[in-house]
Amino acid sequence: MKQPLMITQEHIERYDVSGPRYTSYPTADRFVEAYDATAYGKALEQRNISGWKQALSVYVHIPFCASLCFYCACNKIVTKRYEQSAIYLDYLQRELDLHLQALGPQQAVNQLHLGGGTPTFFSDAELSRLMQMLKQAFVFSDQGEYSAEIDPRTVDSARLQHLRDLGFNRLSFGVQDFDVDVQQAVHRIQTYKQVALLMRQAREMGFQSLNADLIYGLPKQTPITFRQTISQIITLRPDRIALYGYAHLPSRFKPQRRILDEDLPSAVDKIQMLSEAIQQLIQAGYVYIGMDHFALPQDALAIAKQQGRLHRNFQGYSTMADQDILALGVSAIGKMGASYSQNAKTLAEYYDFLDQSQLPVVRGLALSRDDLIRRAVIMAIMCHGELSYESIELSYMADFREYFKSELQQLAEKEKQGLVVLEDDGIKVTEMGWFFIRAIAMVFDRYLQHDANRARFSKIL
């Protein structure tokens, strides 16, 4: 990759603002309680009645963690009481049964992801039970993607082999940073050697793809220390790398209050970390997928981008089409048809719904035509870095230039700043524009344009 266009202090000051990551549009903060279990049940029934045969993606949220990472914004329960797992599995079975009543049995599945929390909080026997439940409920494709998030502190070679035996073919390792000072500041100590050994063992066991999660913008990080972390991760050659910007929202996430503001790197330093990391990874042979993902050229994610098949969902970039996501577990977010749903966020409420034989959905959103049009535009920008006016016009029977007249006027200013190129037939994100891709997408966010309170979002830089 060539050196990006010069990012000026004006760019940094202008775009050091809060904004969504757009794993969905509309974003989850727009969900409403009026969309409840009844509405979600109707969405499930509609899929069944319509005879829609596209394979499902299944997400299972396992909220438990044995220790607290200060940066974490996930829905988790920090506990040493491992007996909670068996109870949770009982309720997952109840939720699964309710879905099958609405959808019918033997739905095809080509994607499964265990997230958390720490999925490997479950014992081997509990993981086996979970997979048995799912395989009895669904028909899993032989060519599917089946992944689990891994905390390197909680697994060994035997645990990895058990996951492989259960049918998992992809692993995502939570690395974040290798610097000792940074690890101490976020309360997550794991060595490079520990991660390297596990990755080597996973490859020997035949896992098809390994992902490493990294975070820039953590306390005590500097461009120098993060450059070293990137160099170290490159030596491990994970197939994919997710490079997230730390979202510091202590007012929303209590553990983050243990992180001192003065320990956080500046926006200038964060831009430098991101810029240098992109250059290091590209020079090492990785394909820049966009915003926060990289992949080796032979990985399915890189191939999907090259072929224009890239998508984005609640787990980030995906090779799968814009398919329905059946979400199980406390706080899990799913997609069914033209609607989103989210389960209860606390175990007590989640269990209470299921004790009453009700789906534990507490909020969601039925998408309007405007939502669908804007989602298509935002996802094209986030996934492909370009947009054809004609593709939107043919799909939604709308005159793009007229429908998005005010948005195109806003983009004209961003064109002057070197972030986009407005062509006669579409929009293209520039090399520098990828650094500010969230700001470009935000132009098309109707909800955000009318919302003065953006503090609930993380900074886009």
Give the position of tokens 């000051």.
13
Cα separation, 139 vs 261, in Å, equals 49
Average pLDDT score over residue span 125-136? 97
| Contact call for residues 140 and 168 (beta carbons, < 8 A) | no
pLDDT of residue 356 exceeding 70, the answer is yes
| Contact call for residues 396 and 376 (beta carbons, < 8 A) | yes
Which residues, 6+ apart, have CB-to-CB distance to 128 below 8 Å? 162, 166
Average pLDDT score over residue span 86-95? 97
User: Which residue segment(s) compose the domain that 389 sits in?
Assistant: 1-26+368-451+457-461
Task: For residue range 63-79, list pLDDT tens digits in order.
Answer: 999 889 998 888 899 99
pLDDT of residue 6: 59
What is the pLDDT confidence band of residue 11, given thresholds at 50, 70 and 90?
A: confident
Number of neighbouring beta carbons within 10 Å of residue 93: 17
Q: Is 363 a domain residue?
A: no
Structure tokens at 280: 């290091």
Cα separation, 92 vs 84, in Å, equals 12
Q: Does one domain contain both 294 and 378?
A: no
Last residue of a domain, one of 277, 309, 328: 328
Q: Does one domain contain both 432 and 417?
A: yes
pLDDT of residue 457 exceeding 80, the answer is no
Last residue of a domain, one of 328, 353, 383: 328
pLDDT of residue 453 exceeding 70, the answer is no
Average pLDDT score over residue span 5-31? 78
Q: Does one domain contain both 73 and 2?
A: no
Average pLDDT score over residue span 7-14? 70
Structure tokens at 251: 């007012």
Q: Is 346 a domain residue?
A: no
Q: Does one domain contain both 53 and 8?
A: no
Which residues, 6+ apart, have CB-to-CB distance to 240 below 8 Å? 209, 210, 211, 212, 293, 294, 295, 296, 299, 301
pLDDT of residue 352 exceeding 70, the answer is yes
Q: What is the mean pLDDT of the chain?
A: 91
pLDDT of residue 455 exceeding 70, the answer is no
Cα separation, 2 vs 454, in Å, equals 34
Q: Is 111 a domain residue?
A: yes
Angle at which helices 369-384 and 389-396 cross, to 10°: 150
Q: Is 183 a domain residue?
A: yes
Q: Does one domain contain both 163 and 69?
A: yes
Q: Does one domain contain both 76 and 14?
A: no
pLDDT of residue 408 exceeding 70, the answer is yes
Cα separation, 278 vs 288, in Å, equals 7
pLDDT of residue 1: 40
Q: Does one domain contain both 405 and 298?
A: no
Q: Does one domain contain both 219 and 275?
A: yes
Structure tokens at 326: 């059946």
pLDDT of residue 451: 64
Q: How many structural domains are present in the chain? A: 2
pLDDT of residue 7 exceeding 70, the answer is no
| Contact call for residues 326 and 92 (beta carbons, < 8 A) | no
> C-alpha 416: how far from its chain's center?
31
Task: For residue range 208-226, list pLDDT tens digits in order.
Answer: 999 999 999 999 999 999 9
pLDDT of residue 452 exceeding 60, the answer is no
pLDDT of residue 2: 44
pLDDT of residue 398: 94
Coil, helix or strand for 428?
strand
pLDDT of residue 43 exceeding 90, the answer is yes
Q: Does one domain contain both 77 and 196?
A: yes
What is the DSSP pairing of strand 107-116 with strand 56-62?
parallel
pLDDT of residue 226: 97
pLDDT of residue 454 exceeding 80, the answer is no
| Contact call for residues 234 and 294 (beta carbons, < 8 A) | no
| Contact call for residues 207 and 164 (beta carbons, < 8 A) | yes
pLDDT of residue 313: 78
Q: Which has the minimum average pLDDT: 15-29, 97-111, 161-175, 412-426? A: 15-29
Q: Which has the minimum average pLDDT: 9-18, 322-331, 435-444? A: 9-18
Q: Does one domain contain both 53 and 119?
A: yes
- Percent of the chain beyond pLDDT 70? 94
Last residue of a domain, one of 311, 328, 345: 328
Average pLDDT score over residue span 108-137? 95
Q: Which has the minimum average pLDDT: 290-294, 312-316, 396-400? A: 312-316
SS3 assignment for 199-249: HHHHHHCCCCEEEEEEEECCCCCCHHHHHHHHHHHHHHCCCEEEEEECCCC
Q: Does one domain contain both 98 and 121?
A: yes
Cα separation, 124 vs 103, in Å, equals 29
Average pLDDT score over residue span 221-233? 97
Cα separation, 368 vs 374, in Å, equals 10
Q: Does one domain contain both 141 and 258?
A: yes
pLDDT of residue 241 exceeding 50, the answer is yes
pLDDT of residue 252: 83
